Structure 1
Amino acid sequence: MKNYKTSEIRNIVLLGHSGSGKTTLAEAMAFEGKVIDRRGSVEAENTLSDYSDVEHLYKRSIFSTMLYTEFMNNKLNIIDAPGSDDFCGSLFSAFKVADTGILVVNATAGVEVGTEIHARYASKLGKPLIAAVNQLDNEKANWESTVDSIKASSELRPVLVQYPVNAGVGFDSFIDVLTMKMYKFKADTGERTEMEIPAEEMDKATELHNELVEAAAENEEVLMEKFFEEGTLPIQDVRRGLKLGIARRGIMPIFCLSARKDIGVKRLMEFVINSAPAPADAPSFVTVEGKEVKTDSAAPTTIFIYKTSLEQHIGEVCYFRVVSGRVTEGQELVNQTTGNKEKISQLFCVAGRNRQKVTELEAGDVGCTVKLKGTKVSHTLAQVGYDCKLAPIEFPAARYRCAIRAKNTADDEKLGELLNRAAMDDPSILVEYSKELKQIIMQGQGEHHLNILKWQLTNHNKIDVEFFQPRISYRETITKTATASYTHKKQSGGAGQFGKVSMVIEPYYEGMPAPGKYKIDGKDTVLNVKQTEEHEMEWGGKLVFCSAIVGGAIDARFMPAIMKGIMEKMEEGPLTGSRARDIRVVVYDGKMHPVDSNELSFKLAGRNAFKDAFKDAGPKIMEPIFKVEVMVPGEQMGDVMKDLQNRRAMIEGMSSSKGFEHLHARVPLAELYRYSTTLSSLTSGRATYTMEFASFEQTPADVQEKLLKAYAAEDKDE
C-alpha cells in the first residue's frame, strides 16, 4: 500500500438511522476500492464492519468501525457509526477525526429518528454533510417524499445532484445533473454504463442542473459574476463552488443509491474526492489553550487517540488521526497527558477487523497501533520536545443512571477492573463507587447502552451482574434555630470519660449576620463569639463552627474534637443517613472533669448534642434537582409533558425549531430513573433529551415522610 499525501486523503463518517444501510454502503465502498473482492452482508454476518458477536446478535452497528478504501489514487477513510442515539459516544469520537458526514437516508422511510439526531450533532459540531438516499431498489421506495422529508428537516440547503429514473424494484438508472449524464447499472455488479440523458428527461435534468450551478456559484463572488455573465459554469467551477458550499455548511448535496446492488456508490465516492473537504481544508484541531494546529505534514508530529479497544489475541488497539507531521514505524512520541514516552512499534491502516501494515502515515490520515502503555481516548502523542496537547473529545452528558453489582461477591474485584476498562474504552460510560450511597453507580446514554455492557460482562467475561435502581444522594438541613446539651459520661474503673457540650444550631446562608441574641432555656441570651471556622463540605454547602465559650468551661484543646464529632454526624445525617449541609453551630457552654475529660468524650458529646438539636430545628430533606431539556416532535408534546408532570417536574419554558418543541423543566433525580426508556416509548424514539444538575431543593412533605419511613425500616432490618 502506498503512502498517501495529505491532499490525497478524505475522512468521512457514515451517519443515519439504524437500518438505513450504512454498513452495506461501507462494504460497497471497500469493494469498489478493491480492499475486498467480495461484498458481505449484514444478514450473512460477514461485513468488514459490524464484525463483533453482539452486533451479529442485534443485526446492527453498536460500535463505530474504521475502514478505508483506495479510489482514483486517493484514500478514503470511512467510519461506520452506530445509528442508535444510545451509542452516540462512538459518533462523537468519529466526528473528532472525520471531516465530512455522509447522511444515509432510507428511501422507504425518509428522514427517521437517527437521521434527525445525527444531523443535529453534525450541526452542533459544525461538520459538513452530504445526503445519500439509499435503498431505492426497494418496492416501497419513494424518492419524492424522501427528498421532501430531507428539505423539511434540514438546517442546510439541500441541492439535488442526482435523481432516479426508475425507483423501485427495477431501479438500475439515475441521472446526474452535475455531469449531465445518465448512469445505467448491470444487475448488482456495480458495473455502469454512461449514457446521454433521454429526451423525455432533458427538461427536468436541465432545470435541476441550473439550480445546482446557481447554488455552487453563490459560494464565491468570482463564480457568481461569471455565472451572471455566461449563464452557466464549467464543471470544474461548479465543483469548486460546491466544495466551498459543503465546507461552509451552506449546502447539502443529495445522491441516489442502492448500496446493496452497488448502484451509485462509485459516483458518490468520486464526488467525495472531488468536492468534500480534504484534511487541510477542514477546520484545524485546537490545543487545550485554543491554539490551532494546522494539518501540515512538514510540522512536528502529533497524533490524537480517538478510540481504544481490547481485542482478543492482539491486546489494546489505539486508533488515531495524524494531526500534523508524519508518524513512522519505530518513532518515539511523548504522551502529553501522562508524560510517558511511547514507541510506535507497528502501524496499520484499518478495514474493520482486517489491518494492512504500513511504514508511515501523513498528516490527515487515520490508522491504528498496538501495545501502547497507558495511552487512552483523547490523549495526544507528540514528537519528543514538542509541547502540544490537543483539546479532548467533548462527549455528551450521561442520561441514564443505574446501580450494578455482581451476583457472586467473589467477582467484585474483577467486576471493578472490567468496569474501569469499559469506561476507558468508551468515555461516554461513567463508573463510580459511591462511598455515600455504598453502591457502584453507572451512567450512560441509555438503557440499551448499558445493557450491551452487561451482555459483554456476562458472555465475554463470565460474570453475572444485575442492574437495579440506585439510591439518591439526598441532603439534610434545618429550617430554624434549636439548642441542645449533651453530657457524655462513662465510668469503667480507673479513668472514665466525661464531657458536656451545649450548642445552638441554625440554618446557614451566605451573608448572614454574625451570631447574636438567642433564646436559651426560655431566656434571651447574647453570645459573644470568640472564634469562627468555615468549612466547605466536599458534598456541597458549608458548616460554620463558632466558639462562644466563656470562663474556660471547655478547654480550647477540646474544640477540634467537638467539631470532629459534628462533622461525623453531618456526613451521616440524623434523618436518613444522608449528608447534611448549610448549618451554623455555636458552642456556648459545657463542662469538663480534671481527670476524665478527653478528646473522645467531647467528640461524642458534640456529636450527640448536634444530633439532638438537629431534630428540633425543623429538619428537612433536600433532593437533587436536574435541568432537563427535551426535544420532542410537536404532535407528541402533550404526552411528554404529561409524563414529566407525573414525575413532579416544574415546566419552565418552551421553544420551537424545525418541527420540534424544546421543553425546559426542573425534575427531581429520583423521578428520572429509566426516563430515557419511557421517553423513547412515548415518542417511538423520536425525542431526545439532556440533563444537568441544577440544585438541591426541599422535598415535599409526603415524599419526606416516605423517605423517613423507608430509612426507619431499613435501620430496623439491619
Structure 2
Amino acid sequence: MKVYKTDEIRNIALIGNAGTGKTTLAEAMLLEGGVINRRGEVTAGNTVSDYQPIEQDYGNSVFSTVLHAEYNNKKINIIDTPGMDDFRGAVISALHVVGSAVIVINSPQGMESGTESAYRITANAHKPVIFLFNHLDHENAHYEQTLEQAKALYGNKVTPVQYPVNAGPGFNTIIDVLTMKQYKYPLDGGQPEISDIPESEKERADELHNELVEMAAENDEGLMELYFEKGSLTEDEMRQGIKLGMIERSLFPVFCAGAKQAVGVSRLMEFITNITPSPAEAVEVPEINGKHPKVDPSESPSLFVFKTTIEQHVGEITFFKVMSGTVKEGQDLINSKSDNKERVSQIFVNAGKNRTKVPEMIAGDIGSTVKLRETKVNHTLSEKVAHYQFKPIEFPPSRHTVALYAVNEADEEKIGEMFAKMHDEDPTFVVEYSKELKQMLVHCQGEYHQNALHWYYKNVFKIDVEFKAPKIPYRETITKSAQADYRHKKQSGGAGQFGEVHLVIEPYEEGSEPRNSFKMGDKEQKLSVRDTQEHPLPWGGKLIFHNCIVGGSIDARFMPAILKGIMEKMEEGPLTGSYARDIRVYVYDGKMHPVDSNEISFKLAGRNAFSMAFKQAGPKILEPIYNLEVMVPSERMGDVMSDLQGRRALIMGMGSEKGYEKIEARVPLKEMYKYATSLSSVTQGRGRFNISFNGYEKVPQEVQDELLHSYAAEMIEE
C-alpha cells in the first residue's frame, strides 16, 4: 500500500445517535474506496466495522473501529464510533485524533438525543462538522423538517450543500449547490450520472448556492472582497471559504445520503478529500511539555496512543496517530510515562480486524502496531531527544456505580485481573476496592455499559459475576454529651488482665474549645486537660482526645492503648459499623492493677467505654450528600422535578442555559442509584447531569430506623 504524505491524508470520525446508519455508511465508503468488493450488512453481522462478537450479538457498535479508504488520490482514515451515550468515551477518544466529524442523522427521526450529545462533544473538541442526513430513502424521510430542527438548534451555520430531489422510497437523486450539478445514482449502487440542474430545480438551487457563497465569503476578508467585486465566487474559492468556515466552526455543511444503496457516498468522499482539513491544517492535540512539534515528516518522530483492543490469537493491538516525523517499523521510541524503550516492530493500516502491513507512516496518519510491552491509551512514544508528551484524552466521569461480585469465591482474584483488560480497552470502566464498604465498585457510564461488561465476563472470560447496588458510606456521630466507664477484668491462671476507664464524650465542632466540667447526675465533674491530641480522620472529620487523668489513676504509658481502642471503634461505628467522626473524648479517671494491667486491657476498656457512651449520646447516622446539576428540555421539566422530589432532593436553584432548563439540587447518594437510566427514560435521552460531593448530613429518623433494623438483621445472619 502507498505511504501517504501529510497533505494527502484526511482523518474523520463518524458519530451520532444509535441507528443512524454510521456503520452502513462506513461500509459504503470502504466499497467506494476499494477496500472491500461487496457491502456487508449490520443485520447479517458481516460488516467490516462491527466485527467484535459482542457487537454482532447486540446489533450495535460498542467500540470504535479504525478503518480507511483510498479516494481521489488521498487516504481517508475513518473511525466509526458507537451511538449509545453509554459508550461516548469512544467518541471522545476518536475526536481527539481526527480532523473532522461527520454527524450522521436519521432523517425520519430528526435531531435525536444522540445527535445533540455528539454535537456537544465536537464543540468541546472544537472540531469541524459535516451533517449527513441519512436514510433519505425511507418512506418517512423528512429532509426539510430535519433541516429546520438543525437550524433551530445550531443556527444558520447549518448550511445545505445538497438537498434531495426525491426523498422517500426510490430516493436516488441529489442537487449539489456547491458544484451546481445534479447527481443521479443507480439504485443498486455505483457511480452517479452527473448532469446540469433541471429547470424545475434551478430557482431553489440558485437560492441555496447564493447562501453558500455568502457563508463561504464571510470566513476570509479576501474572499469577501472578491464576492463584493464579482457578486459570486468560483468553486475553488468557495472550497477555500468553506474549509476556513469549518475549521472555525462558523459553517456546518449539510449532505444527503441513502447509505444502504451508497447514494450520495462518493460525493461525500469527494468533499472530504477536497475540502476538510488535512492533519497539518486541523486543530491538533497540543504537547504539554511546552514544545510544539509540527505535523511534518521532517520533525522528530512521535506517536500518540488513543485506543487499544485485545483480539484472540493476536493479543493487544495498539492504535496510534503519528503526531510528527516519520515512524518506521523496527524503530525504537521512548515512552514518555516510563522513559522505557518500546520497539515499533510492525506498522499496520486498518480496516476493522483486517490489517495491511506498511513500512512506515508519516505525520498525521493513523495506524496500529502489536506487542508493545507497557504502552497504553494516552501514552506518547517519541525519540529520547524530543521527549514529547501530548495532552491526554479526558474521558467522561462515571454516572453509574455498581458493586461487582464473583458468584464463585474462587474467582474473586480473577475478576480483578480481567477488569484490568477491560479498562485498557475502555478506560471509562473504572474499578476500586472499597475497604470501608468491603465491595469492589465498578464506575461506568450507565446500565448498557454495565451490561457490556457483564457480557465479557460471561462470554469471553467465562466467569460468573453478579452486580448489586453499592453500599452507602454512611458516617456516625453524636448530638450530645454522655459519660461511661468500663472495667475489663480477666483471670485465667497466671497473669490476668485488668483495666478500668472512665470517659466523657461530646460532639466536636471546628473551632470549639474543650470544657472544664460536666454534670454527671447530681454531681459536677471538674476536668483538667493535661494533654490534647487532634486526629484528622482519613474518612473525614476529627477525633479530639483529651488526657484529663490526675493523681496517677491511669499510668501515662496506657493512654496510647486507650486511644487505640477508641480509634478501633471509630473505624467500626457502634450503630451500623460505619466510620464515626467529629467526637471529643475526655478520659478523666480509671483504675490499674500493679500486676495485671497491660496495654490490651486498657485498649479493650477504652473501646467498650467509648461504645457505651456513644449509644447514650444521641447518636445519629450521617449520609453523603451530592450536588446535582441537571440539564433538561423545558417540556420535561415537570417530570424531572417530580422524580427528584421522590429522591429526597433539595432544589437549590433553577435557570436556563443554551436552550435547556438547568436544575441545581442537593441529593442523598442513596437516592442516586440508577439515576442515569431514570433521567434518560424521563427525558427520552436528552437530559444530562453532573454530580459532585457536597458533604454529610443527618438522615431522617425513619431512614435511620430502617438502617439500624437492616444492620441488626445482618448481624444475626452473620
TM-score (norm 1): 0.96
1:121: which partner in 2? 121
Aligned-partner Cα distance in 2 for 1:203–1:626:
58
| Contact 1:152 1:658 survives alignment (8 Å) | no
1:511: which partner in 2? 511
Aligned-partner Cα distance in 2 for 1:324–1:543:
55
Aligned-partner Cα distance in 2 for 1:155–1:104:
18
How far residue 466 of structure 1 moved from its aligned partner, in angstroms, is: 1.5
Aligned-partner Cα distance in 1 for 2:250–2:632:
26
Query: CA-to-partner distance for each residue in 1:608-656, whole Å, 9 max, x for gaps?
Result: 1221221122211111122222222222221121111101111222233
Query: CA-to-partner distance for each residue in 1:391-428, whole Å, 9 max, x for gaps?
Result: 32211111112122122222222222112221232111
1:209: which partner in 2? 209
1:496: which partner in 2? 496
Amino acid at match of 2:453: L
Query: CA-to-partner distance for each residue in 1:298-348, whole Å, 9 max, x for gaps?
Result: 332322211111110000111111222222111112222233321111111
Question: Aligned residue pairs: how many?
Answer: 718
Give the SS at the match of 1:153. helix
How far residue 161 of structure 1 moved from its aligned partner, in angstroms, is: 0.6
1:546: which partner in 2? 546
1:686: which partner in 2? 686
Compared with structure 1, are the counterparts of its residues 60 and 587 closer, same or farther at alpha carbon in structure 2 (3 Å cutoff)? same
Equivalences for residues 446-595 of structure 1 within 5 A: 446-520=446-520, 522-595=522-595
Amino acid at match of 2:504: V
Compared with structure 1, are the counterparts of its residues 273 and 512 closer, same or farther at alpha carbon in structure 2 (3 Å cutoff)? farther
How far residue 497 of structure 1 moved from its aligned partner, in angstroms, is: 1.4
1:393: which partner in 2? 393
Aligned-partner Cα distance in 1 for 2:52–2:191:
31
Aligned-partner Cα distance in 2 for 1:545–1:414:
43
| Contact 1:150 1:158 survives alignment (8 Å) | yes
Amino acid at match of 1:656: S
Give the SS at the match of 1:43. coil
Amino acid at match of 1:331: Q
Deviates more, 1:699-708 or 1:48-57: 48-57
2:28: which partner in 1? 28
How far residue 211 of structure 1 moved from its aligned partner, in angstroms, is: 0.7
| Contact 1:302 1:380 survives alignment (8 Å) | yes
1:98: which partner in 2? 98
2:245: which partner in 1? 245
Equivalences for residues 180-199 of structure 1 within 5 A: 180-199=180-199
2:60: which partner in 1? 60
How far residue 115 of structure 1 moved from its aligned partner, in angstroms, is: 0.8
1:662: which partner in 2? 662
Query: CA-to-partner distance for each residue in 1:79-104, whole Å, 9 max, x for gaps?
Result: 11111101111112112112211100
Aligned-partner Cα distance in 2 for 1:576–1:448:
33
Compared with structure 1, are the counterparts of its residues 335 and 505 closer, same or farther at alpha carbon in structure 2 (3 Å cutoff)? farther
Amino acid at match of 1:239: R
| Contact 2:289 2:388 survives alignment (8 Å) | no
Identity %, equivalent residues? 56
Compared with structure 1, are the counterparts of its residues 156 and 521 closer, same or farther at alpha carbon in structure 2 (3 Å cutoff)? farther
Aligned-partner Cα distance in 1 for 2:651–2:634:
16
How far residue 16 of structure 1 moved from its aligned partner, in angstroms, is: 1.0
- The answer on 1:649 being equivalent to 2:649 is yes
TM-score (norm 2): 0.96
Compared with structure 1, are the counterparts of its residues 588 and 283 closer, same or farther at alpha carbon in structure 2 (3 Å cutoff)? farther
Aligned-partner Cα distance in 1 for 2:143–2:28:
21
Give the SS at the match of 2:283. coil
Amino acid at match of 2:145: S
Amino acid at match of 2:433: Y
Aligned-partner Cα distance in 2 for 1:86–1:330:
38
Give the SS at the match of 2:506. strand
Aligned-partner Cα distance in 2 for 1:627–1:155:
32
| Contact 1:285 1:293 survives alignment (8 Å) | no
| Contact 1:284 1:292 survives alignment (8 Å) | no
Aligned-partner Cα distance in 1 for 2:383–2:526:
68
Equivalences for residues 686-705 of structure 1 within 5 A: 686-705=686-705
1:16: which partner in 2? 16
Deviates more, 1:612-621 or 1:583-592: 583-592
Deviates more, 1:625-634 or 1:56-65: 625-634
Deviates more, 1:515-524 or 1:607-616: 515-524
Deviates more, 1:489-498 or 1:548-557: 548-557
| Contact 1:86 1:449 survives alignment (8 Å) | yes
In structure 1, runs of 5+ residues without a counterpart are none
How far residue 389 of structure 1 moved from its aligned partner, in angstroms, is: 2.7
Amino acid at match of 2:43: E
2:153: which partner in 1? 153
Give the SS at the match of 1:186. coil
| Contact 2:334 2:387 survives alignment (8 Å) | no
Aligned-partner Cα distance in 1 for 2:390–2:518:
58
Aligned-partner Cα distance in 2 for 1:470–1:164:
52
Compared with structure 1, are the counterparts of its residues 277 and 60 closer, same or farther at alpha carbon in structure 2 (3 Å cutoff)? same
- The answer on 1:51 being equivalent to 2:51 is yes
Amino acid at match of 2:183: Y
How far residue 438 of structure 1 moved from its aligned partner, in angstroms, is: 1.7
Q: CA RMSD in A?
A: 1.9
Amino acid at match of 2:465: V
Compared with structure 1, are the counterparts of its residues 364 and 544 closer, same or farther at alpha carbon in structure 2 (3 Å cutoff)? farther
Query: CA-to-partner distance for each residue in 1:472-497, whole Å, 9 max, x for gaps?
Result: 11111122222322222212222111
Equivalences for residues 666-677 of structure 1 within 5 A: 666-677=666-677
Give the SS at the match of 1:194. strand
Give the SS at the match of 1:624. strand
1:407: which partner in 2? 407
- The answer on 1:225 being equivalent to 2:225 is yes
Compared with structure 1, are the counterparts of its residues 712 and 176 closer, same or farther at alpha carbon in structure 2 (3 Å cutoff)? same
How far residue 284 of structure 1 moved from its aligned partner, in angstroms, is: 3.2
Deviates more, 1:567-576 or 1:499-508: 499-508
Amino acid at match of 1:53: P
Deviates more, 1:514-523 or 1:319-328: 514-523
- The answer on 1:612 being equivalent to 2:605 is no
Deviates more, 1:158-167 or 1:378-387: 378-387
Equivalences for residues 206-355 of structure 1 within 5 A: 206-288=206-288, 292-355=292-355
Aligned-partner Cα distance in 2 for 1:528–1:362:
78
How far residue 522 of structure 1 moved from its aligned partner, in angstroms, is: 4.5
Aligned-partner Cα distance in 2 for 1:288–1:518:
60
How far residue 694 of structure 1 moved from its aligned partner, in angstroms, is: 2.2
2:172: which partner in 1? 172
How far residue 684 of structure 1 moved from its aligned partner, in angstroms, is: 2.8
Give the SS at the match of 2:277. coil
Aligned-partner Cα distance in 1 for 2:300–2:533:
52
Compared with structure 1, are the counterparts of its residues 536 and 127 closer, same or farther at alpha carbon in structure 2 (3 Å cutoff)? farther
| Contact 2:97 2:284 survives alignment (8 Å) | no
2:603: which partner in 1? 603
How far residue 18 of structure 1 moved from its aligned partner, in angstroms, is: 0.9
How far residue 105 of structure 1 moved from its aligned partner, in angstroms, is: 0.6
Compared with structure 1, are the counterparts of its residues 15 and 290 closer, same or farther at alpha carbon in structure 2 (3 Å cutoff)? farther
Deviates more, 1:574-583 or 1:650-659: 650-659
How far residue 203 of structure 1 moved from its aligned partner, in angstroms, is: 1.5
How far residue 137 of structure 1 moved from its aligned partner, in angstroms, is: 1.3
Give the SS at the match of 1:154. helix
Aligned-partner Cα distance in 2 for 1:611–1:215:
75
How far residue 523 of structure 1 moved from its aligned partner, in angstroms, is: 4.2
| Contact 2:480 2:507 survives alignment (8 Å) | yes
| Contact 1:397 1:691 survives alignment (8 Å) | no
Compared with structure 1, are the counterparts of its residues 491 and 349 closer, same or farther at alpha carbon in structure 2 (3 Å cutoff)? same
Give the SS at the match of 2:62. coil
- The answer on 1:640 being equivalent to 2:645 is no
Aligned-partner Cα distance in 2 for 1:530–1:127:
66
| Contact 1:185 1:193 survives alignment (8 Å) | yes
Aligned-partner Cα distance in 1 for 2:677–2:59:
20
In structure 2, runs of 5+ residues without a counterpart are none
Amino acid at match of 2:149: S
Give the SS at the match of 1:286. coil
